Amino acid sequence: MKNLSPAFPMNPSTTRNCCGYCGATSYHRVVARDEMGAMRYTDTLQCSGCSREFANLDIWRQGGAQMPTHPPVVSAPAH
């Protein structure tokens, strides 16, 4: 049998894809009400493990500064 390890590396990604605080491997976009009361996605990300909120994935991965804890506000789409 051939050795397949050179063709199929066991760890092809070197990017750490987990929360820098708690190690969770998932996050989701925050949903908040806009001025009209409709639920909409915001640009904020929230860790599924520790619930910290982040502005982008790099900060989530590195465990950087947490965003303010006040509820996010989203704007209603222009008509």
Residue 35 domain boundaries: 27-62
Mean pLDDT of 62-70: 62
pLDDT tens, residue by residue, 24-61: 999 999 999 999 999 999 999 999 999 999 999 999 99
In a domain, 6, yes or no: no
For the ranges 12-16, 26-30, 57-61, 63-67, the one whose mean pLDDT is highest: 26-30
For the chain, the domain total comes to: 1
In a domain, 67, yes or no: no
In a domain, 9, yes or no: no
Q: Using DSSP, how many helices (H) and how many strands (E) does the chain show?
A: 1, 3
The pLDDT assigned to 48 comes to 95
In a domain, 46, yes or no: yes
Tokens in use for 75? Answer: 């704007």
Mean pLDDT of 9-34: 82
In a domain, 15, yes or no: no
E strands present in 4-79: 27-33, 39-47, 53-54
78 falls in which pLDDT band (50, 70, 90)?
A: low
How far apart are alpha carbons 79 and 61 in whole angstroms?
Answer: 36
CB 55 within 8 A of CB 29: no
